[in-house]
Chain A
Amino acid sequence: MSLRRFTLAALTSALMVGSLPASAATELLNVSYDPTRELYVEYNQAFNRYWQSKGHEAVKVQQSHGGSGKQARSVIDGLRADVVTLALASDIDALYQNGKLIPENWQSRLPNASTPYTSTIVFLVRKGNPKGIKDWDDLVKPGVEVITPNPKTSGGARWNFLGAWAYAQKKFANDEAKTRAFVTQLYKQVPVLDTGARGSTITFVNNKIGDVLLAWENEAFLALKEEGGDNLQIVVPSLSILAEPPVTVVDKNVDRKGTRELAEAYLNYLYSEEGQRIAAKNFYRPRNAKVAAEFAKQFPTLELVTIDGAFGGWKSAQPKFFGDGGIFDQIYRAK
């Protein structure tokens, strides 16, 4: 209890989220993860135009970004987020499990399992692809160094891990021992385990460590646009995982602040054509079929498995793979 209060104090000051005034109906706090910064800057403006056209006052949307797990924790510890838009469902599940901030069935409240946009995991390699990396198989070849963050501390890295697992599962026809050996070998070729996706990008792009970076598709596209992007190229594997970063209203907070109507409208508008288009422009795969068709050229087609289809959902995958003593821990413990 006290610990939470103290971490809360530290976190809120770190996030520089100003104290919210008593009548906060025109302010909204969106707590999100790292790579969505640009997406929500653009979306907030669009939403404001829409919201005002409906005859409401202008909304001041504050954004907070950080590692997905850490963001979930600060909301649990008392950061008064109206909505959370995080990297994976298990981080939002935690809001239910720790403190009952949202109902257990939160994910069924919005369409597409509350995931308005998706992404996937692709490879980023050096220009010209000197190691000839085409698929997950090539990552375990001798002499190939793979950069990926630690799945225990990074939401994105969990998608990376499961992408590799899903590929191996298919390749070895569900032979778990062989799948595990494949993924173990892959992690043996990881020289640096950063704590977050941004850290891994710095390691790969700026410090030039490793031959391939496992990255969110939207992050990979962004990296190409940024400094040093000319020296990189994207490789799309034959199969990957459909990364689903979901969103939800934080019930306890919006009811206390009286912002439910606004918060719900904010999330619903993500599903509108304009919202979907902004997501696509920021390299997230849209759900809306019409918008998806518009941006079809931007997103390569590949076989995408889902967390629910291949792993029985986060509720079983999280403890099995990433819990204490789970498969990821065993990879590093077996010496």
Chain B
Amino acid sequence: MSRRTSPVIPGFGLTLGYTLLYLSLLVLIPLGAMFLKTTALSWSEFIAVITDTRVLAALQLSFGTALAAALINGVVGTLLAWVLVRYTFPGRKIMEAMIDLPFALPTAVAGIALTALYAPSGLIGQWATDLGFKIAYTPLGISLALTFVTLPFVVRTLQPVLADIPREVEEAAACLGANPWQSFRYVLLPALLPAWLTGFALAFARGVGEYGSVIFIAGNMPMKTEILPLLIMVKLDQYDYTGATAIGVLMLVVSFILLLLINLLQRRIATP
């Protein structure tokens, strides 16, 4: 009885049904099929595939570079969101539009452009070579490509939250004697953190799975700069569908655990 009266907005059954169908078609069935495909492997075969030294090296690289990219965007993205929300200056609208470009650009184009710039012969790469280090064809280059591709996530999740915090809150903090750092640390940060974590998690998850842009800048040397999605492609090129899905499942499980942890952390922060 209470069930019938509780939703204020009608159409609960219809919308839930639609949601379920939509999620099933787009997410659950493909992922389920993936898990099903791996069952063609015995447990020991599956373990053998995912504990291969090359797979482990790639796993470390993929998650490490994605983490680095998400952290960089966590800091710089916050700054960008802050500047875009809090200040008005000429060219702000253009800057605003530029933030989304990494989403619109085909990732392969981004990869090729970044490689051209950061390769030892490139405009910026030359300068790095003079200083004695390499950007393209190293993990640094991979992080760079991922930072580019995942740039919008943190900025776009923080912007509305920042805009929602009235200026008066900061002014009140200042009136109460807080210095700028204190009002940032105790007033703004707690309000921003849940959204920041969401942006961070999105950027991280996207980075782990990114293929198109990384493949050009990575150099793809086995054991050194070979990302997990590339290993999946290598397996597919050998018509080893089950081996490829095994790595896919590994990535999925690790990502899921990490995202779950981030979600739990978020909940803890949201409910003090």
Contacts and interface: CB of A to CB of B under 8 A. Distances in A.
Given A195-B220, A195-B230, A332-B223, A209 B121 contact: yes
Interface in B32-74: 33-34, 36-37, 53-54
Contacts of A153: 230, 233-234, 237
A206 B116 contact: yes
A272 B73 CA distance: 59
Contacts of B233: 153, 195
Nearest to B233: A153
Contacts of B245: 3
Interface stretch (A68-76, A104-112, A134-142, A273-281): A68-76
Nearest to B122: A207
Contacts of A176: none
A322 B239 CA distance: 12
A199 B54 contact: no
A150 B227 CA distance: 14
Q: Which 10 pairs, one residue from A and one from B, show the smallest C-beta to C-beta distance?
A: A2-B33, A332-B222, A208-B121, A69-B237, A207-B119, A192-B219, A193-B220, A152-B234, A153-B237, A3-B37
A329 B53 CA distance: 12
Interface string A184-199: 0000000111110001
A123 B220 CA distance: 22
B171 interface: no
A166 B234 CA distance: 24
A95 to B, nearest CB: 10
Given A192-B137, A203-B115, 12 more contacts: A6-B30, A6-B33, A67-B237, A69-B237, A70-B237, A76-B239, A194-B216, A195-B230, A202-B112, A207-B121, A324-B243, A335-B223
Interface of A: 1-4, 6, 67, 69-70, 73, 76, 94, 97-98, 150, 152-153, 191-195, 199, 202-203, 206-209, 322-324, 329, 332-333, 335
A332 B221 CA distance: 9
11 contacts: A2-B29, A2-B33, A6-B30, A73-B236, A76-B239, A153-B230, A191-B137, A193-B219, A207-B115, A207-B122, A332-B54
Given A3-B34, A192-B219, A98 B239 contact: yes
Contacts of A335: 223
A209 B120 CA distance: 8
B215 interface: yes
Contacts, number: 85
Contacts of B53: 333
Specify the main secondary structure of chain B where it touches its partner: helix
A221 B146 CA distance: 35
A203 B125 CA distance: 14
A265 B68 CA distance: 56
Contacts of A206: 116
A335 B220 CA distance: 16
A150 B121 CA distance: 22
Given A3-B245, A209-B119, A73 B33 contact: no
A97 B223 CA distance: 30
A193 B215 CA distance: 10
A193 to B, nearest CB: 4
A159 B241 CA distance: 24
Given A6-B33, A206-B116, A207-B116, A191 B219 contact: yes
A194 B112 CA distance: 12
B271 interface: no
Interface in B210-247: 215-216, 219-223, 230, 233-234, 236-241, 243, 245
Nearest to A331: B222
Among B119, B219, B223, B238: residue with most chain A CB under 10 A: B238
B237 A152 contact: yes
B230 to A, nearest CB: 7
B215 A195 contact: yes
Contacts of B239: 73, 76, 94, 97-98
Contact of A324 (B33, B34, B37, B238): B238
B125 to A, nearest CB: 9
